[in-house]
Amino acid sequence: MSDSAHLFLSEVDRAIAIEAARLRAIYSLRTQDAIQLVTGILNGAELFITNDRGFTKVEDIEILILDDLI
């Protein structure tokens, strides 16, 4: 259940699965990381916030590393 104005849940559909597999292959991401990333991208996210530096190689969306803000 989600009752937040800034949070939504998304089913992993065919488009997400295919694009996640593509990004996983290109950037050597873990499957679950690729799914989260692609779900954001396909739903209009402009920024992906994380502390996982493994995402810095991704060029499909702007990546913000929280530790870099300190």
Please report whether residue 3 resides in a domain.
no
> In this model, does residue 6 exceed pLDDT 90?
no
Please report whether residue 41 resides in a domain.
yes
Reported pTM: 0.83
- Please give the residue range of the domain that contains residue 24: 14-69
Please report whether residue 2 resides in a domain.
no
Reported as a pLDDT band with limits 50, 70 and 90, residue 2 is: low
* Total domains in the fold of the chain: 1
Number of other CB atoms surrounding residue 16 within 10 Å: 20
pLDDT at 70: 83
Alpha carbons 52 and 65: distance in angstroms, whole number: 7
Please report whether residue 8 resides in a domain.
no
Please report whether residue 62 resides in a domain.
yes
In 1-70, the DSSP E strands lie at 47-50, 62-65
Average pLDDT, the chain: 91
pLDDT at 38: 96
Cβ atoms of residues 16 and 38 within 8 Å: yes
Please report whether residue 54 resides in a domain.
yes
pLDDT at 3: 61
Residues 6+ apart with CB under 8 A from 35: 12, 16, 17, 20
